[in-house]
Amino acid sequence: MTSCGSIYPDVSTLVNIPAIGKISHKSGMKLLQVCSDTIFKVGKDGVVSVVATGDGKVEFIAFEDHTLAYVKSAMGYPAYYPVHPVKMEKPIRAVLMDLDGTSVKSEHFWIWIIQKTTASLLDNPKFELEESDLSFVSGHSVSEHLQYCINKYCSDKTVEQARRFYFEHTRFEMSEITKGRGRKNAFMPVSGLKEFLLELKSLNIKIALVTSGLYEKAWPEILSAFKTLGMGDPNEFYDAIITAGFHLGDGWAGTLGELQAKPHPWLYAEAGRVGLGIDFTNRNSVIGIEDSGAGVCAIRLAGFSAVGFADGNIVESGTRELCSDYCNTFEDVIMRIIR
């Protein structure tokens, strides 16, 4: 993100964002004078402040009594959304859960696939991503991950070229895994997942799995985790499973998943409203659990309370203060939020 400069000389200033609350200097968020598309500027047209998440993916434009969120897009399709106030109302009726990092440990595998794809684009099998790349190649859509790498490492290539390599590598590696000779421990269930899911079921709480991953990459992950846990068919267990859809190919129209994945709200909105049948007016009895900054923003923009899960990039992305709570384990979620 290109910073437009700060107009706040006192870095300890607390900025109050309607529908979100006070944001402190410790949050990792960035105070700007102008929204990156230059449409909104502090002091004009009622704009009180402009605040960006630490990773620059979302900018909040605060007015006196309401807030807009500007979700940027590496693919050229940004969007504005209203920010709704949230609060947790017990009993919790539904839990929306992220897949990668929250339910299944697989981030390293998919980052490795992005690295292999970039290596193919460069025709350099020894290529490796840098530490600074990691927050940009996880938590968003495949196309955005690939566009980031193209912009940084091979600007003469296209996303379409990258996607061809990506799916070649994905299909090969998935096939190897199913044959028992692929990358070991590619998809491991997060500690305590089984007990957490069974506890929710015992309390008659609806459960939806929500991922920005395309179906062909997401389904083997959760299937592998359920097999490891001895939990049978995920389709029979979850009340809804929402993915980014299917990849675009010959004869396929594709889906919106690659353009409007997290941090856009649509996957979580669809999980709650369509998948679980919960009306927007009852959204405060729904929580979403995420380990990524993009996911936290998606939950909040869908109108639900976000519960941050440790070990992801929430703190690094500057979205910790968008969370209604932040937990280290599933047991924490049960004891502090569900019970």
Tens of pLDDT, residues 194-237? 999 999 999 999 999 999 888 888 888 898 899 899 999 999 99
Arithmetic mean of pLDDT over the chain: 91
User: So where are the chain's domains?
Assistant: 15-72, 94-106+188-338, 107-178
Region 262-287 average pLDDT: 96
User: 3-class SS at 51?
Assistant: strand
Write down how long the chain is. Answer: 339
The whole-number pLDDT of residue 10 equals: 43
Segment 18-26 mean pLDDT: 92
Residue 336: the pLDDT is 93
d(CA 152, CA 119) in angstroms, rounded, equals 13
Residues 307 and 67: their CA atoms lie apart, in Å, by: 21
pLDDT band at 253 (very low <50, low <70, confident <90, very high): low
Q: What is the pLDDT of residues 28-48, one digit of tens each?
A: 999 999 999 999 999 999 999
In this structure, which CATH number among 3.60.21.10, 3.40.50.1000, 1.20.1250.20, 3.20.20.70 belongs to the domain 94-106+188-338?
A: 3.40.50.1000
Q: Please tell me the predicted confidence (pLDDT) of residue 5.
A: 38
Q: What is the pLDDT of residue 254?
A: 65
Q: What's the pLDDT at 213?
A: 84
Angle separating helix axes 159-178 and 215-229, nearest 10 degrees: 20
Cβ neighbourhood burial of 115 (10 Å; 0-12, 13-18, 19+): middle
pLDDT in tens, 162-172: 999 998 999 89
Strand 325-327 and strand 305-309: the pairing is parallel
Question: Taking residues 15-19, what's their average pLDDT?
Answer: 95
Looking at residue 47, its pLDDT comes to 98
SS3 content of the chain, % helix, strand, coil (to 5): 35, 20, 45
Question: pLDDT tens digits for 105-148?
Answer: 988 899 999 999 999 999 999 999 999 998 889 867 788 899 99
Percent of the chain with pLDDT over 70: 94
Task: Identify any residues that bridge with 81 across adjacent strands, giving them in sequence order.
Answer: 69
For the beta sheet containing 206-210, the strands, ordered from the edge strand earlier in sequence to the opposite edge, are 240-242, 206-210, 94-98, 286-290, 305-309, 325-327
* pLDDT (tens digit per residue) in 55-97: 999 999 999 999 999 999 888 899 999 999 999 999 999 999 9
Residue 8 pLDDT:
39
pLDDT at residue 13 is higher than 70: no
Q: With bands split at pLDDT 50, 70 and 90, how would you rate the model's confidence at 310?
A: very high
